[in-house]
Amino acid sequence: MEGTLKLWVVIVAVGAINYASRLSFIAFFARRTMPPLLARALRYVPPAMLMALIVPMVVAPDVGVQAINPRIPAAIVAGIVAWFTRSSLKTMVAGMAALWLLQAALARLG
Amino acid sequence: MRRVLNTPDFRAGFVEMLPACLGLIPFGLVCGVGAAAAGADVLEALGMSAIIFSGAAQILASQLLAAGAPVAVVILTCAVLGLRFLMYSAAMAPVLRTLSAPWQRAVSFLLTDQVFAASIRKFDAHGDPRGAALHFLGGGMALWSTWQIDNVVGYFAGNVIPAAWSLEFTVPLCFIALLAPALRGVLPIIAATTAGVAVIALAGLPMRLNLVVAGILGIVAGTAAELLRERWKAR
């Protein structure tokens, strides 16, 4: 498939699926309660999917091989801040500060 | 419309979402950079941010397309990621039940992780569906409009941002900000750990299928653990 067409197919299909999911219980199934097994399974979508996305980005970034990967401790710092503050802004600031500090420290050492 | 925009709840929702919008600026920039890297022109980049309107799905789609994954795999992976909207939709349904059907259809489009979390907190605190719906609309509009700006700026400014800043690291940080509060209790931790181990163990799968397979394995592990625990308790 040609690049532009491929992109628009993805945009329209993913956009439509996302919109249908967002609308699902607000409009389509408004008078129905969710099947209990589905309700249970859906609770595990955020932890499972988010972790599947986070791990490759932290453990194996595409930026060459380093002896020590500063992203792992930086991600742990961000995780602790996120747990206690529930603030995306504070998590972002803490994680980036930790990464920059560690990168600077590693540059000095090596 | 003006009557809606002047209500204190709408304004509160809009203003209260601004810190989160600020925190999402780097994520939005990276989404724009990712769209450019996947070969999108500016209209396609805007199509992704305006129509898909989910940073996680946009990044995932860009990465998979850049890696040469087939369209069907991109759509399937994004659809599993988007399953969480079913859950948000069910939780938001009582909040939005006082709205007319056209309004419901319009505001549902703005349902995202951040706005959902803020509006549910508001609804739980006050129990007023009309106020929470307006609050939701305000937060959603704040996030949607700033998100388009972030994406377009990222699309054009991507190659000016120094690589040493590691701006792309803000993407996992955004996901960590969403993940950490979800990890309360042992069952979500089982789901997350399973998915995290599986995504590494299955890294050899073609077309980056490891992402969607790991996600599904995590969901199954969490659900199975919950069912087992109940059976155990019932004995």
pLDDT score recorded for residue B77: 92
Distance in angstroms (rounded) separating the CA atoms of residues B148 and B27: 12
| Residues of chain A contacting residue B223, judged by C-beta atoms under 8 Å apart | 37, 40-41, 44
Report the gap between the CA of B152 and the closest CA in chain A (Å). Answer: 16
Domain boundaries, chain A: 1-32, 45-109
Asked if A9 contacts B70 with a C-beta cutoff of 8 angstroms, the reply is no
Q: Is the Cβ of B71 closer than 8 Å to some Cβ of chain A?
A: yes
Question: Are A4 and B44 within 8 A, CB to CB?
Answer: yes
What would the two tokens of residue B224 be?
A: 């199975």
Q: Give the position of tokens 């994406």.
A: B151
Distance in angstroms (rounded) separating the CA atoms of residues B191 and B216: 9
Asked if B61 contacts B78 with a C-beta cutoff of 8 angstroms, the reply is yes
Does pLDDT of B100 surpass 80? yes
Q: What pTM value is reported for the model?
A: 0.87
Which residue of B174, B182, B216 is in closest CB contact with A47? B182
DSSP B129-174: HHHHHHHHHHHHHHHHHHHHHHHHHHHHHGGGS-GGG-GGGHHHHH
Which residue of B52, B193, B212 is in closest CB contact with A11? B52
pLDDT score recorded for residue A65: 53
Mean pLDDT of A37-43: 91
Domain boundaries, chain B: 2-164, 183-235
Please give the ipTM for the structure prediction. Answer: 0.89
Q: Which residues contact B38 (CB under 8 A, 6 or more apart)?
A: A7, B61, B62, B63, B65, B66
Indicate the pLDDT class of residue B181, thresholds 50, 70 and 90: confident
Q: Is the Cβ of B54 closer than 8 Å to some Cβ of chain A?
A: yes
pLDDT score recorded for residue A67: 65
pLDDT score recorded for residue A66: 57
| Residues of chain B contacting residue A92, judged by C-beta atoms under 8 Å apart | 23, 26, 170, 173-174, 177
Does pLDDT of A107 surpass 60? yes
Which residue of B79, B188, B226 is in closest CB contact with A17? B79
Mean pLDDT of chain B: 91
Question: Are B39 and A53 within 8 A, CB to CB?
Answer: no
User: pLDDT, tens digit, for every residue of A20-31?
Assistant: 999 999 988 888
